[in-house]
Amino acid sequence: MLAAQRRSEIMAILERDRIVRVSHLVSALGVSDMTIRRDLLALHEQGALEKVHGGAVVRAEPSTAEPGFEAKSDRQLAQKEAIAARAAQLVHPGSAIAVSAGTTTFAFARHLVAIPGLTVVTNSVWVADLLHRARVPSHTVLLTGGVRTPSDALVGPVAIAALRSLHLDTVFMGVHGMDASAGFSTPNLLEAETNRAMIASGRRLVVVADATKWGVVGLSSMAALSKASTIITDDGLSQSARQSLAEHVDELLLVAPQEGSDGPDDSPANLGSARQHYSQAAP
């Protein structure tokens, strides 16, 4: 098991149990005590958890806490990949879409290289770079510009002005948190305002968020749950949360993550292979 996969498993166990012990992780993951301690130290330094004697606990974050892109990229890998693959099935060749910043939307963007004729508007530095390197001839990629946040989103007046002039088919958005009362939220005020402009630019909103985002409330709300046409999340979502979301959105899609999945390789060679596969499969 790769370090990234192992650390994703550790975070999944921690999200479920709220506390983990080194001895339990050694047994559950089949690795040495020293390996687990290194993993916990790395996750602690990324701000993903709080190391304590003999294990780790969930890091309590204020509503203004904003983890960086790399700090979030090790979390819930299999869940994000399953969500991303399902979201890509909603994208039709030739459509115009917006993709917000985030690690789940980055996973989603890796699937877009296999879909021809897209116009993709994004405020994500990572998404724009990935699609630029893919060099799909039929793609048009527009980066909004703006001020860069810790999570590598471009936000503020420049981004908002760009988004307000556009009319898109679908907005695919990742969120920091989703809650029955607070709706979809983020810890960054400018990102919330930018995302509201992005939502307004599309005829349809699809939210992609793993189950750990439920019950999390950031400083600023971007939209009520009912604003989303579709929410795609994983089957780790509690029954009560499923019921609450189903009452607010037109479509709630639950996916089952595949064990050991860490997403497709986004190297240039693999991106080229994905384009060829789509060409062969398309009618």
What is the second-level CATH architecture of the domain 3-60?
Answer: Orthogonal Bundle (1.10)
Considering only CA atoms, which of 154, 153, 77, 91 is closest in space to residue 119?
91
pLDDT given for residue 4 in this prediction: 78
- Any bridge partners for residue 133, and if so which? none
Instruction: List the structure tokens of 66.
Output: 């904003």
pLDDT given for residue 5 in this prediction: 82
pTM: 0.71
pLDDT given for residue 234 in this prediction: 93
pLDDT given for residue 49 in this prediction: 80
> Could you tell me the residue ranges of all domains in the chain?
3-60, 72-273
Pick the CATH number of 72-273 from 3.30.360.10, 3.20.20.140, 3.30.70.270, 3.40.50.1360: 3.40.50.1360
Give the C-alpha distances (Å, rounded to integers) separating 30 from 26, 187, 227, 258. 6, 37, 44, 19
Give the C-alpha distances (Å, rounded to integers) separating 69 from 25, 168, 176, 214. 25, 26, 12, 19
Instruction: pLDDT tens for the chain, 283 residues: list them.
Output: 788 788 888 988 887 787 899 999 999 999 999 999 999 998 888 767 888 899 998 765 554 445 555 545 555 788 999 999 999 999 999 999 999 999 999 999 999 999 999 999 999 999 999 999 999 999 999 999 999 988 889 999 999 999 999 999 999 999 999 999 999 999 889 999 999 999 999 999 999 999 989 888 888 999 999 999 999 999 988 888 899 999 999 999 999 987 545 555 544 444 444 444 443 333 3
